[in-house]
Amino acid sequence: MLWVKTFHIVFIASWFAGLFYLPRIFVNLAMVAPGSVAERDRLLLMARKLLRFTTLLAVPAIGLGLWLWLGYGIGQGAGNGWLHAKLGVVVLIVLYHWICARMLRALAANTDQHSHRWFRWFNEVPVLLLVVAVALVVVKPF
């Protein structure tokens, strides 16, 4: 079980690294000067590759978490409301990941009109979600 936990944490950390960096690429895309095709194409390529890799990391991260929950019974039983709250946060993280994918498609199609300032704020969302998820696991307040 400890190896499963170890790999779960490693995949989660790697997944979040991608979720931290992808919106930063969106900031750079929003700042590209009109007519700078090579720069825009390079940033779109970076974002697509990062999204693909981040998605590949999310699958084992979630799968190992489910294995810990269902296979080992972690968080089951009375006094484990923290896990239900954490699972709610995980759903929000997956939703954020999905929104990033949609935004990348909109940026590639040149239909996204958000400013670089908006993307800078959007970039802070996964930090907040990570803090809440880790706090729920460590503190187990419920």
Number of Cβ atoms within 10 Å of the Cβ of 120: 14
Q: What pLDDT, on the 0 to 100 scale, is given for residue 76?
A: 75
Q: What pLDDT, on the 0 to 100 scale, is given for residue 73?
A: 77
How many domains does the chain fold into?
Answer: 1
- The answer to whether 116 is a known ligand-binding residue is no
Q: What pLDDT, on the 0 to 100 scale, is given for residue 80?
A: 83
- The answer to whether 8 is a known ligand-binding residue is yes
Q: What pLDDT, on the 0 to 100 scale, is given for residue 69?
A: 84
Q: How far apart are CA 142 and CA 130, in angstroms?
A: 18
pLDDT per residue as tens, the chain (142 positions): 889 999 999 999 999 999 999 999 999 999 999 999 999 999 999 999 999 999 999 999 999 998 888 887 777 777 788 888 999 999 999 999 999 999 999 999 999 999 999 999 999 999 999 999 999 989 988 8
Quote the pTM value: 0.91
Q: What pLDDT, on the 0 to 100 scale, is given for residue 15?
A: 96
Domain that holds residue 58: 2-139
Alpha-carbon distance values, 83 to 44, 69, 74, 103 (Å):
37, 9, 9, 30
